[in-house]
Structure 1
Amino acid sequence: MLDVISAEAFKSRFGWPLLKRRADYQFLLLQILGWTTLTVISFLSLTLWYKQDQLQMNYTLHTLVQSMLGVLVSWPLRGLFKGLWDEKAVKRLFGISLGIILASALWTVSRIISFMAMTEEREVWLDFGGWIWGSIIIFIGWTSLYHGIKYYQLWLAEREELGELVAKNREIQLHRSRAELVARNAQLKMLRYQLNPHFLFNTLNAVSALITMNDANRANSMIVQLSNFLRYSLDNDPEQLVALEDEIRAVDLYLNIEKTRFGERLRIEMDVDPASRSVYVPSLILQPLIENSVKYAIAPQEKGGKVSIVTRLEESYCAIQVSDSGNGGAELEAGRLFSENSESRLGVGLRNTIDRLENFYGRDYVFKVTSSDSGGLSIILRIPLTSDVNAPQAVASITSDTLERC
């Protein structure tokens, strides 16, 4: 039967021992490489130089023996330095210095003893000071190399951890961006589909009334116009921008339906700048503005009223103005226009329009409400120009002294 172990147990059993053995192998390899290099340097600079005339094998072998002694003497320094690694600087420096002095002294004594045993030299102890200073210099170099390699390994480990952290954060940001995009798309669809219910309800009521009055032709015409408008509404993705020219056509479809309802009571004026027709705007962005005017400026008035639509290009923006001849100007001055009352002129449609503009453009748009020349209400939009249907521009600031937000 197979043993099942946890991830932590696996790391404890296989990970750390393997890493420790790998570090031991690296240390052994560097020890051999370093002391072998010292052997070659000693042979070329000392043994060969001073014994050119009478080079003997025992002097040559001693250079190798002293390096082997160096490996043995320096090995405990590794444990000492690891034990001092997390200590305070003063204590660590004192411990390192003491280790260098003791190792140098031990190596010097062992070198001299082995040298005297392998050669006929007998007055070596008289030069003890020269031998130990050379040993101290060598062990200072050994200690410097050890710490240099150790810090380099730590730097590599930290860089790897940082890279993993950056990659992890990038993945988290990617998931978050995807989640935000899904939420934004869902919100746009929700806002777009909130625009039509009241209009659809009123239109169907009007069709029912026409049928009751036996006015089949007008009822049929109204149903066809409603079908065309709803097809446009459903065919256009709320996440996409459409040409203003297409929006004007959709407005015509909507107004034709309302003309059937109100007849001569609804008067329409359009002044569309030809240059603005190719500007891209959010789909069905104008319908709720016009519906607001029809609902509050035309429907309550016995004589009806007028709705005007004007578009202009202004530098890097497209300005769109929807005005009516109702009494919205007086409500604006009285401060009732933006109340939280359900009967407020700033209904669901206009609030959704503001939310949709913010989703598309960030804060690089203007939604301005003022009084019209006829005393009614005028809503002005300034939308950034873009020729890419999939990439609305964003990030600037709103400039409207009369802008109110819900």
Structure 2
Amino acid sequence: MRYAIQPSNISEYTFEVEPAWYQTIWFKLATIIAGLALFGFCIFAYLLFQQRQKTRNEVAKKQKLQLELKALYAQLNPHFLFNCLSSIQGLINQQDFRGANEYLTDFAQLIRGLLTNSAKEETPLQQELQTLEMYLKLEKLRFGFSYNIGIDMSIDLSAISIPSLLWQPLVENAVKHGVATLEASGRINIFINKVDDSLVIVIKDNGKGFNALKLQSGLGLRLAQERIERLNELQNGQPIELTFNSNFEHGTEIILTFTHWFL
């Protein structure tokens, strides 16, 4: 400080000016932290919204696929029942009334089993085998062929499940397009094996074979293939594969592979 009348006389004083609260370093740090927290919260909220939207879309897609599967299953049952009723009609036309009565008794048991499992997406392999053997028994009464079912002893049939009636159209084709005209010389072999962690079902017949591309336009096989497509969209890392090996001299082999089914 310098007085006007004594400019040579200088006085010095030391003092400190406190900054305003919004000028403090702590406020600035708190503002930065709060800004980063808000930015992080916005990112988290956006990602959460995206994830929930994705989950909703996945659930909607899964529900849609499940409804499509139920629709295909509902179509498959009438197709299966129609074939059984056609077999009964064939016995009646042949005046084989005893065979028709036996067929009707077994058919009633078969229908009961189908109704029991109709609401299930998957059925224990043991029950599926019972249904399959009942069907083959019924068709054998009409066409007179023989059949054999070989099962890998390492498979616990009650502990593993497969989609209901998925293999039924494949066996029907082995009967109708393979051994139906061969009568007693016709033979169907079905093998159920465990290969690594996969379930492999092989259906063989000794018929004349068929054009797989042409036959796949039939209702039963088309429904089976559409079901497999839908199931593969739903399954996570457990795809189902259907392959045909047809030889016009040595019959047909159909392979149904349930990949990683034992995991």
The TM tier, using the shorter chain, reads 0.7 to 0.9
Alpha-carbon distance in structure 1 between the residues aligned to 2:171 and 2:67: 25
- What is the one-letter code of the residue matched to 1:317? S
Structure with greater contact order relative to length (CA < 8 Å, sep ≥ 6): 2
Q: Partner of 2:50 in structure 1? A: 169
Query: Is residue 234 of structure 1 aligned with residue 115 of structure 2?
Result: yes
Structure 1 pair 300–218 and aligned structure 2 pair: CA distance change class (3 A):
closer
Describe the SS at the equivalent of 2:68.
helix
Q: Partner of 2:251 in structure 1? A: 376
Query: Is residue 272 of structure 1 aligned with residue 147 of structure 2?
Result: no
Q: Partner of 2:68 in structure 1? A: 187
Q: Partner of 2:126 in structure 1? A: 245
Q: Partner of 1:208 in structure 2? A: 89
- C-alpha contact (below 8 Å) 1:188/1:238 kept by paired residues: no
> CA shift at 1:384, angstroms?
4.2
Q: How does 1:80-99 map to 2 (within 5 A)?
A: none
Alpha-carbon distance in structure 2 between the residues aligned to 1:209 and 1:375: 27
Structure 1 pair 146–158 and aligned structure 2 pair: CA distance change class (3 A):
same
Q: Partner of 1:225 in structure 2? A: 106
> CA shift at 1:238, angstroms?
6.4
Structure 1 pair 303–340 and aligned structure 2 pair: CA distance change class (3 A):
closer
> CA shift at 1:297, angstroms?
0.9
Q: Partner of 1:338 in structure 2? A: 213
> What RMSD over aligned residues (CA atoms) do the two structures have, in Å?
3.7
Structure 1 pair 210–375 and aligned structure 2 pair: CA distance change class (3 A):
closer
Of 239-248 and 296-305, deviating more is 296-305
Give aligned-pair identity as a percent.
24
- What is the one-letter code of the residue matched to 1:347? L
- C-alpha contact (below 8 Å) 2:199/2:261 kept by paired residues: no
Structure 1 pair 304–183 and aligned structure 2 pair: CA distance change class (3 A):
farther
Question: What is the TM-score with the length of structure 1 in the denominator?
Answer: 0.52
Structure 1 pair 183–362 and aligned structure 2 pair: CA distance change class (3 A):
farther
Alpha-carbon distance in structure 2 between the residues aligned to 1:319 and 1:169: 40
- What is the one-letter code of the residue matched to 2:141? T
Q: Partner of 1:354 in structure 2? A: 228
> In structure 1, which of residues 295, 307, 314 is the aligned counterpart of residue 195 of structure 2?
314
Q: How does 1:4-403 map to 2 (within 5 A)?
A: 123-124=10-11, 142=23, 144-212=25-93, 214-236=95-117, 240-262=121-143, 264=144, 266-278=145-157, 279-301=160-182, 305-328=186-209, 331=210, 336-339=211-214, 342=217, 347-352=221-226, 354-355=228-229, 357-358=231-232, 359-360=234-235, 362=237, 364-371=239-246, 375-384=250-259
- What is the one-letter code of the residue matched to 1:224? T
1:136-170 deviations in whole A, cap 9, x for unaligned?
A: x958x936444333222222322333343344334
- What is the one-letter code of the residue matched to 1:327? K
Describe the SS at the equivalent of 2:111.
helix
Q: Any gaps of 5 or more consecutive residues in structure 2? A: 4-8
Alpha-carbon distance in structure 2 between the residues aligned to 1:242 and 1:281: 6
Alpha-carbon distance in structure 1 between the residues aligned to 2:95 and 2:213: 42
> CA shift at 1:373, angstroms?
11
Of 212-221 and 244-253, deviating more is 212-221
1:251-310 deviations in whole A, cap 9, x for unaligned?
A: 111112211221x2x221222223224233222232121112112112355776221101
Structure 1 pair 321–242 and aligned structure 2 pair: CA distance change class (3 A):
same
Q: Any gaps of 5 or more consecutive residues in structure 1? A: 1-111, 117-121, 388-392, 394-406
Alpha-carbon distance in structure 2 between the residues aligned to 1:224 and 1:385: 38
Question: What is the TM-score with the length of structure 2 in the denominator?
Answer: 0.76
1:22-53 deviations in whole A, cap 9, x for unaligned?
A: xxxxxxxxxxxxxxxxxxxxxxxxxxxxxxxx
Describe the SS at the equivalent of 2:212.
coil
- C-alpha contact (below 8 Å) 1:243/1:277 kept by paired residues: no
Alpha-carbon distance in structure 2 between the residues aligned to 1:341 and 1:379: 12
1:80-121 deviations in whole A, cap 9, x for unaligned?
A: xxxxxxxxxxxxxxxxxxxxxxxxxxxxxxxx9xxx9xxxxx
> CA shift at 1:339, angstroms?
4.8
Alpha-carbon distance in structure 2 between the residues aligned to 1:376 and 1:340: 14
1:340-368 deviations in whole A, cap 9, x for unaligned?
A: 87369x93244145336524465544433
1:35-75 deviations in whole A, cap 9, x for unaligned?
A: xxxxxxxxxxxxxxxxxxxxxxxxxxxxxxxxxxxxxxxxx
Q: Partner of 2:6 in structure 1? A: none
Structure (1 or 2) with the larger CA radius of gyration: 1
